[in-house]
Amino acid sequence: MLSRTADNLYWIARYMERADTVARLLEVGSRISLIPSAHGYRSEWDSLLQATGMAESFAKKYGDPVQRNIESFLFFDHDNPSSVASCFTAARENGRIVRTALTSQVWDALNTAFQELKALERTPRSELELSRLTDWVMRHAAMVRGAIDATLLRNDGFNFLNIGYYLERGDNTARLMDVKYYVLLPRVDFVGSGLDNYQWSTLLRAMGAQRAFHWAYGGDVTAAKIADFLILNPQSPRSLATCAAGLVNHLARVAKAYGRETVAQEKARALLAEVEGATVEAIFDEGLHEYLTRFIADSADLALGIHDTYLSGEMR
Amino acid sequence: MAQFNEMYQGTGVRPPYARLDDWVAAMPQELRSLKQAEAEALFRRIGITFAVYGEGGDPDRLIPFDMFPRVFSAAEWAKLEKGIKQRARALNAFLVDVYGRGEIIRAGRIPGRLVYQNEAYEKAVAGFVPPKGVYSHIVGIDIVRTGPDEFFVLEDNCRTPSGVSYMLESREIMMRMFPDLFRENRIEPVDGYSEKLRRTLASVAPKKCKGEPTVVILTPGHFNSAYYEHSLLADLMGVELVEGQDLFVDGEYCWMRTTEGPRRVDVIYRRIDDAYLDPLCFRPDSMLGIPGLMDVYRSGGVSICSAPGAGVADDKAVYTYVPEMVRFYLGEEPILNNVPTWQCGKADDLKYVLEKLPELVVKEVHGSGGYGMLVGPKCSRDEVERFRAKIVENPGNYIAQPTLALSSVPTFVEEGVAPRHVDLRPYCLVGERIELVPGGLTRVALKEGSLVVNSSQGGGVKDTWVLAE
Amino acid sequence: MRLTVDHVTRYHYDRPVRSVVQSHRLTPSVFAGQKTIAWEVTVTGGAQGSVFRDGAGDLVQAWTVAGPVAEVTVRVQGTVETVDLTGVLRGHKETAAPECYLRATLPTRADTALDSLARSAEGADPLALAHALSAAVADAIAYRPGVTSAHTTAAEALALGEGVCQDHAHALIAVARVRGLPGRYVSGYLFADADGQSHEAAHAWAELYLPGLGWVGFDPANRCCPDDRYIRLGSGFDAQDAAPIRGIARGGGKEEMDVTVAILQASQ
């Protein structure tokens, strides 16, 4: 297929997944802000912005991280390329460009999300509750994903969509966990405290994974179990292991269809081997933050490889 | 001026519309509103919208769709079809001639100045005969009707006539909303268009191309007002929709950038102007286009549809001579007449035009889309005088025509059903064969009394029916 | 006269470019005034693309250079046997109608000054008129390198009163058109002979279409018609349209160009 078409599909997926994550982040932030502040020397919202790498652009435009501004910034602000509004708009625009590569169901889902966004933007903010907004985002993200899974031909376009989804999701899971690092581990003596566990639960809840977690592990919520669940467990839909395996799988299908292996497959396999070879102990020995930072960098490097190989149109 | 109503004559209904009389009588107001809303929702949902250049505003604006169809009998269409095909053949013969020996000019049948000094004449393709001798592969001919048997050609579009998506989608939507109408009337289908278009394009692949040719549609991009149409046609034909950046030249061929590496392109159905095809050839300052494409084209490595330079045939000043082309190249009498046209560049014509200005329609020679035109009878004295000054300043830039009593077709308006003026654009395909699907784009001037049907000026569209015999 | 050409154009990019596409009109025209003995064009790292003869009779050769590349050198070497035809382009095959050269382009558009310059010239017949126009241009625009650029128009050069061969050719095309004569821009080479006159070895002049004679060359810069010291390459509406090398580099840095041309008389 056209490299540009593959690129558009890949970005539809990345933008939809990113919007989903941003909505979840808002959920985490607002929940954490509802419980008594652990210390007061660092705003939870600020930490959240730090973890997602959006702190600087936020500060430039809004100054202090108060909740209402954060909501504006993460949800409605078209100047913020990662806001829900920007992501939905960009996903729909990419969809419009590659209409011919989508089924009408997928286009409908993308277009409906966009049209409803327009309506939301016209609604007075006082009538919009945060929880309603986040639900709305997750519902549309799921509808697009569902339409893709249910109706799209299993061709290379489908693979590039999934590659986009898994790349973004892996990166986002790592970043969400890193919020926990920024927000929740200000002082070593909190580790293992009731507050610590409550905060882990909040994170799980934001990822919609609380019940799944309890089914899988049972008992207390501990940092080790969470790390296992969100990094290593191949049953967890958002774990780094699941995302890496998804990347390997879809890249392998591309390689098979095209009859040749590239650096992209090589890098994806290395990423998966890295995750599969890890243990919770080793991760905590290295430091969770350090481990996640490394994963984010490796995943970005893989993204670059995919871009250079398939999406840039430079392949010979 | 008596105007021709295509449905009602006196108290009677003309036969092609016979069944529509009952249909509209039986439709209560509420149902009509409901259907209209449904049609609009369908149009919006499929994303067929129209952005008007230079007007800003809503890029997702819909062209109003009128549900009342426009109908031709089989006999009426048969005549139109013959006339349209004849014209399309003559226009192509003209193009091959003026880029070759220029016999029609040597014979003194058309002034060389109009052709060779025309902005649309591409010296770069002089001496080149495209595959199958076709320059204009999709000829859109704008036709108006003034009486039961009177049809006039308003203008020819030899480059990249747009609007065919409305022909296809209007039909889809009508069939979906009013299946009964299609059971009761025997209406010729139009959905063969995309397959015919694909065959036409494939038939003009370069000689060097062996096997099934790779056809692509080249679009300026998704910001273009006709992008929906480009993507619809690509989809229906099963070909790639590419932008300039997706193509490149290497060796003697043109290639597209794919995820599997370069893939050779044989036929480019371009929906961009000549000037943006190749910066090496046309606009060295532009980064748009595909550097080196024209060299590949000229050496027979790729076909471009319409062929660069085709625009010289649809220039409004050249238009006057199309009947002459029919006689010169085909040795036939034109079946479709031109609207009488005065060239303001000619002294005698200019004198007449300035005298009769309030009665005439005046157009810019290179204008399109209903911009920069004067409809004398509809304009105030001041507007006429202002236009007069423009004509006097640069007469060669204008042509004038009498104000025609355009036919009207019943149209749903706020108060119920009322006649509105229409025109017709059929799309003639020219490749190895000349083909025409029975139908076209009927544009309707929705404002009462208005004669301007352009979508950029408040025009709408209708489904166009051709009845089977 | 037997002339040898060694013409080197070096393109340098401050950052490597991804690819270069070029379209050359670097082959001597085929007409009674010149006969090519040997001719070769090379492009470093280049692959030959399409080749064809265009409507104006010029041989066009496309080249592509796959990157990344920071320098591309185009070298033209050859030998041509020339004959003095007093400027007449005899025996040149072309299909483009002369009338299409009556169209103005930006650099050849006549302003009021060019218009009156055109009307000041007198000639009993088209040939005499053409000579008068060429002389008028030579008088009005003194030869002086460095005052005009590649983008200077005929009108600007006339206002300056100074320019180079490109400006002379543009101006002559403009004034010829005012008088109803089709004019075109010709690029080629000029052998600087022993008389020591100042010449540009990569040269340009104009051709005017005269009834009965066809295309005839005029070189206002040297106040003559092209003779056996001239090698003709190709033509166009103006300098840009007639450029011997047109090229575009994709992705990468700023381009610098360096040209050396040596035209010598071959020892027989």
Long-range Cβ contact pairs of A123-130 (< 8 A, separation 24 or more): A130/A26, A130/A27, A130/A30, A130/A71
Give pTM, 2 decimals. Answer: 0.90
Q: What is the DSSP letter of B286?
A: -
Looking at the 3D structure of chain A, how many domains does it have? 1
Answer whether B424's CB lies under 8 Å from B144's CB.
yes
* CA R_g for chain C: 18
- Give me the percent of chain A exceeding a pLDDT of 90: 55
Give me the amino acid identity at B59. P
* Beta carbons of C99 and B295 less than 8 Å apart: no
Cα B446 from Cα B166, distance rounded (Å): 16
Q: What is the DSSP letter of B467?
A: B
- Please name the residue that has the structure tokens 């449905």: B7
Q: Residue ranges of the alpha helices (H) in C141-218?
A: 154-160, 165-178
* Beta carbons of B259 and A314 less than 8 Å apart: no
**Chain B residues with beta carbon closer than 8 angstroms to that of C60:** 295, 298
Q: Between C47, C56, C247, which is nearest B251 by CB?
A: C47
- C115: buried, middle or exposed (CB in 10 Å: 19+, 13-18, 0-12)? middle
Smallest CA–CA distance from A256 into chain B, residue: B260
* Beta carbons of B257 and A311 less than 8 Å apart: no
Q: Which of B295, B296, B304, B315 to mutate to test the interface with C (most CBs of C within 10 A)?
A: B295
Question: Residue A260: how many CB atoms within 10 A of its CB?
Answer: 12
* Beta carbons of B126 and C95 less than 8 Å apart: yes
Q: Is residue A316 part of a domain?
A: no
Smallest CA–CA distance from A2 into chain B, residue: B258
Q: Is B416 helix (H, G, I), strand (E, B) or coil?
A: strand
Calculate how close chain A gets to B271, using CA atoms only, in Å: 15
Answer whether B366's CB lies under 8 Å from B315's CB.
yes
Calculate how close chain B gets to C197, using CA atoms only, in Å: 34
Residue C125 vs residues B9, C121, C122, C226: alpha-carbon distances, Å? 67, 12, 9, 20
pLDDT of residue A63: 84
> Tens digit of pLDDT per residue, chain A (316 long)?
999 999 999 999 999 999 999 998 888 777 777 666 554 434 667 777 876 778 888 989 888 878 888 889 999 999 999 999 999 999 999 998 898 889 989 998 999 999 999 999 998 888 888 888 999 999 999 999 999 999 999 999 999 999 999 999 999 999 888 876 665 554 445 555 666 677 777 778 777 788 888 888 887 778 788 889 999 999 999 999 999 999 999 999 999 999 999 999 999 999 999 999 999 999 988 888 899 999 999 999 999 999 999 999 987 7
- Give me the percent of chain C exceeding a pLDDT of 70: 97
**Chain C residues with beta carbon closer than 8 angstroms to that of B121:** 100, 103
Q: Which of B49, B259, B268 to mutate to test the interface with A (most CBs of A within 10 A)?
A: B259
Q: Which of A92, A99, A309 to mutate to test the interface with B (most CBs of B within 10 A)?
A: A99
Q: Taking an 8 Å Cβ-Cβ cutoff, which residues of chain C contact chain B?
A: 19, 21-23, 47-52, 54-56, 60, 62, 64, 66, 94-97, 99-100, 102-103, 237, 240, 246-248, 250
Cα C190 from Cα C226, distance rounded (Å): 9
- Please name the residue that has the structure tokens 């692509």: B216
φ/ψ bin of C80: left (φ > 0), alpha (ψ from -120 to 50), beta (otherwise): beta
Q: Is residue A92 part of a domain?
A: yes
- Residue B247 contacts C where some CB pair is shorter than 8 Å: no
Residue B79 vs residues B84, B339, B465: alpha-carbon distances, Å? 9, 18, 15
* Beta carbons of A258 and B227 less than 8 Å apart: no
Q: Between B46, B235, B256, which is nearest A2 by CB?
A: B256
> Which H or E run includes A168?
helix A156-184
* Beta carbons of A93 and B262 less than 8 Å apart: no
Question: Number of C-alpha atoms within 13 angstroms, CB side, residue A165?
Answer: 21
- Residue B250 contacts C where some CB pair is shorter than 8 Å: yes
Smallest CA–CA distance from B258 into chain A, residue: A2
pLDDT tens-digit series, residues A27-67: 877 777 766 655 443 466 777 787 677 888 898 988 887 88
Calculate how close chain C gets to B205, using CA atoms only, in Å: 17
Cα A104 from Cα A106, distance rounded (Å): 5
* Beta carbons of C99 and B296 less than 8 Å apart: no
* Beta carbons of B258 and A3 less than 8 Å apart: yes
CA torsion angle B101 B106 B109 B112 (round to 10): 80
Cα A100 from Cα A91, distance rounded (Å): 15
pLDDT of residue A186: 46
Identify the sign of the CA torsion C190, C192, C197, C199. positive
Residue B418 vs residues A270, B8, B22, B26, B456: alpha-carbon distances, Å? 71, 11, 16, 16, 22
- Residue A153 contacts B where some CB pair is shorter than 8 Å: no
pLDDT of residue B57: 47
**Interface chains of chain B (3 or more CB pairs under 8 Å):** A, C
Q: Is B144 helix (H, G, I), strand (E, B) or coil?
A: strand
- Residue A118 contacts B where some CB pair is shorter than 8 Å: no
Size of interface B-C (CB pairs under 8 A): 102
Residue B228 vs residues A4, B43, B220, B235: alpha-carbon distances, Å? 17, 11, 12, 10
* Beta carbons of B246 and A99 less than 8 Å apart: no
**Chain A residues with beta carbon closer than 8 angstroms to that of B260:** 258, 315
- Name all domains of chain B by residue range, CATH numbers in brackets: 8-336+404-466 (no CATH), 340-402 (3.30.1490.270)
* Beta carbons of B292 and C250 less than 8 Å apart: no
Q: Is residue A211 part of a domain?
A: yes
| Residues pairing with C245 in the sheet | C24
* Beta carbons of A2 and B245 less than 8 Å apart: no
* Beta carbons of B123 and C102 less than 8 Å apart: no
Cα B267 from Cα C263, distance rounded (Å): 44
pLDDT of residue A194: 64
- Name all domains of chain C by residue range, CATH numbers in brackets: 2-81+244-265 (2.60.40.2250), 85-236 (3.10.620.30)
* Closest of C60, C62, C79, C72 to residue C18, by C-alpha: C72
* Beta carbons of A313 and B45 less than 8 Å apart: no
Cα C156 from Cα C113, distance rounded (Å): 10
- Token pair listed for B12: 């009677």
Question: Residue A125: how many CB atoms within 10 A of its CB?
Answer: 12
Residue A250 backbone dihedrals phi, psi, to 5 degrees: -70, -35
Q: Is B299 helix (H, G, I), strand (E, B) or coil?
A: coil
pLDDT tens-digit series, residues C75-107: 999 999 999 999 999 999 999 999 999 999 999
Cα C163 from Cα B81, distance rounded (Å): 59
Q: Between B126, B280, B299, which is nearest C248 by CB?
A: B280
pLDDT tens-digit series, residues C4-50: 999 999 999 999 998 999 999 999 999 999 999 999 999 999 999 99
- Token pair listed for A134: 């986040």
* Beta carbons of B262 and A316 less than 8 Å apart: yes
Q: Between C64, C96, C99, which is nearest B112 by CB?
A: C99
Q: Taking an 8 Å Cβ-Cβ cutoff, which residues of chain B contact chain A?
A: 45-47, 222, 227-228, 231, 234-235, 240-243, 245-246, 256-262
Answer whether C266's CB lies under 8 Å from C4's CB.
yes
Q: Which of C17, C18, C20, C21 to mutate to test the interface with B (most CBs of B within 10 A)?
A: C21
pLDDT of residue A177: 84
Which residues, numbered 84 to 103 in chain A, qualify as contacts with chain B under a Cβ-Cβ cut-off of 8 Å?
A: 93, 96-97, 99-100
Q: Is residue A93 part of a domain?
A: yes
* Closest of B70, B67, B18, B63 to residue B426, by C-alpha: B70
Cα B108 from Cα B103, distance rounded (Å): 9
Opening angle at CA B50, ends B44 and B56, nearest 5:
115
**Chain C residues with beta carbon closer than 8 angstroms to that of B126:** 54-56, 95-97, 100
Q: What is the DSSP letter of C255?
A: E
CA torsion angle C173 C179 C181 C183 (round to 10): 0
- Residue A73 contacts B where some CB pair is shorter than 8 Å: no
pLDDT tens-digit series, residues A168-217: 999 999 988 887 666 555 444 555 566 667 777 777 877 778 888 888 88
* Domain membership of residue A185 as a residue range: 3-311
Calculate how close chain A gets to B222, using CA atoms only, in Å: 6
* Beta carbons of B296 and C49 less than 8 Å apart: yes
* Beta carbons of A160 and B241 less than 8 Å apart: no
**Chain C residues with beta carbon closer than 8 angstroms to that of B102:** 97
Q: Is A258 helix (H, G, I), strand (E, B) or coil?
A: helix
pLDDT of residue B427: 97
Smallest CA–CA distance from A109 into chain B, residue: B45
What DSSP string describes B200-227? Answer: HHHHT--TT--SSPPEEEE-S-TTSTTH
pLDDT, averaged per 10 consecutive residues of chain B (469 residues), comes to 84 90 88 88 71 48 87 96 97 97 96 92 94 96 94 93 92 92 92 96 94 95 86 93 94 95 97 91 75 95 96 90 97 95 89 90 73 80 89 89 91 89 96 96 89 77 94
